[in-house]
Amino acid sequence: MGFFAESLIYILVVVNDLFKIRRNWRESPASHTGQVLDHTAALSYVWGTIVFTVGTICLLSAVG
């Protein structure tokens, strides 16, 4: 249960970062390559965390 709770906390932190990136993107006059990379990295972390968490839960359910 500890792993699942930690994964939820981590995804909340990453989603918060994603919102900050999007807000910064809207407030700046033009998009820069760095902003696109930040946005892409944050989305990758969100999806990666979701897939890893679901995969681990399914694996643990199948094993135990």
- The overall longest dimension of the chain from CA atoms, in Å, is 53
Q: What's the confidence (pLDDT) of residue 63? A: 62
Tell whether the model's pLDDT for residue 11 goes beyond 70.
yes
Cβ pair 4, 53 in contact under 8 A: yes
Domain ranges (residues) in the chain: 2-18+36-63
Q: What is the pLDDT of residue 1?
A: 62
pLDDT 10s digits, 25-63: 788 777 678 778 888 888 898 888 888 888 888 887 766
| Residue 10: per-residue pLDDT | 86
Mean of pLDDT values over 3-22: 84
pLDDT(64) > 80: no
d(CA 15, CA 45): 9
